[in-house]
Structure formats: structure tokens, C-alpha cells
Amino acid sequence: MEHYVDNFYHAYARNVEQNYYIDMYYKHSLKKQVKTIIGLRVWNSKEKDDMFWCPEFGDISKPRGWDFFPAGNAFMTRTLKKLGPHWILLRRRKAYTYNVGILCPASNIKKANKLEIESRTKREEKREQSKKYRDKREHNYRNEMEELMFSYLNFSKRYAKLAHNICSQAAEHATTVGSGRVGRTKQISMEDRAILAVRAHIRHTHTTYEKKLAKNSDDPDGMVHATLKKEANENVDEFIAKHRNSNK
């Protein structure tokens, strides 16, 4: 019985040792292939300054001949990713993780730099064309908004110039890109956007709403503001009715 236990122990020990070396060989083989991986997400190692860490392989060193290219140049980043193996260096900051740059062969960075210089003129021309297209699209959108406003106001010919001035200013203000104003929303129809925008412009420029609002700036619960806005909307209705098709 003692002989049997002794043989079992030695067999178990050999098996554990063999599995350890197999595991080490497997990890070593993977680490040798790590420089061929595309898009491996890595962080700076906490243990060593010149090492990197990833959940798949633990601590790994930068492959020989590789270099770092910082984030910020969209063309270079896209090109380096297309050229072949690369790692994405990440950094953790409180509630989010952000991209620091790319680790890749230095030869690829040289190639990407060359392509960046060669394509710079073409890309600038493309950006200029895109800008012209966006400007034209915004110009057409602003004109359409202005026409809808003018149609809504329906002022008499006597006040046509006033209507054009109001609509021009209101459309320009409401459709400013990135402003977050009613003219940029997609939640309501174009007609509703135009109506809300031109009424808001009249409320701010052709009623006493702004002056009264300034006098009642201390309004913690917003009740005064709501009352003033309701009163101003009634004044807007009166202003529009006064200038619409009539004999006045």
C-alpha cells in the first residue's frame, strides 16, 4: 500500500510539473506572436515603466523596432491601423478610459507620414468641397425656414419689409449650427420649427418681455418667468394680428 501511494504521489507531481511547463510554453508561444496581433488593447504596466499590460497576456514588452504614435491625427491613425499589426495604448482616468495613441512598427509610421504628405493637398481640397456643400445645404435650409416664417406671418403688403426683416433675423438665429435652438431640432416638423422660432424672435424683440424679465431676475421657482412668458405670447399674437392682412 505504501509503495502504491508513493508511486501515485510521484506520478501526480510529474503531471503537475508537466502541466506547468506546457502552460509556460503556451504563454511563451503566445507572447512571441503578440507582435502580429492587430488592435491589441494595452495599458502601461504598473510594475515596470518600459512594459505594457493586457488581460490576455499580462505584462508584455514593446516589440523590437516598434514606436509610439500619439492620438490626434485622424488620417495617420486610420492609416497605421490599415498598415498592419498595432496595439492601442489606453489610459484609465476615474470614470472613463481614453485612447492615448498607437504602438506599431516604426517603418509603418514612416510610410504613413509619407502618405499623409502626399495626400494632404487632396484631403484639403476634399475638406473645402465638403465645406462648400455644407454651406450650400445650410443656406438652402435657412431660406426654406425663412419662407415658412414669412408664410406664417402673412403680413399685409404694407408691412412686407418688416416681415422680411423679422424672418431673416429669426431664421439666421434659429438655424445656427450647434446652437441647440429650435431651428436645429428634428423632433418636430419644419413648419412647427419655423412658427416657434419666429414667435420667439418677436417675443424677444417686439414686446416688453426682455425688460420685464430683467427686472424679475430673482425668480427661484420660475413662476414669474412663466407668467411673463404667457403674457408675452399674448402680446405676440396681438402683434401678428395687427400686421396681418387688414385695412389697418
The type of residue at 154 is N
The CA-CA-CA angle for residues 233, 239, 244, to 5°, reads: 125
| 248 residues of the chain, pLDDT tens digit each | 445 444 544 444 455 555 554 455 445 555 567 777 888 999 988 767 678 988 888 888 888 899 999 999 999 999 999 999 999 999 988 888 999 999 999 999 999 999 999 888 888 888 899 999 999 999 999 999 999 999 999 999 999 999 999 999 999 999 988 888 888 888 999 999 999 999 999 999 999 888 888 887 776 677 888 888 899 899 999 999 999 865 54
Instruction: Count the Cβ atoms, other than its own, within 10 Å of residue 199.
Output: 21
Distance between first and last Cα of the chain: 120
- The whole model's pTM is what? 0.54
The CA-CA-CA angle for residues 242, 243, 244, to 5°, reads: 100
Treating both helix axes as pointing N-terminal to C-terminal, what angle do 223-243 and 190-205 enclose, rounded to 10 degrees? 100
* Three cell numbers, residue 4: 502504491
* Three cell numbers, residue 197: 422660432
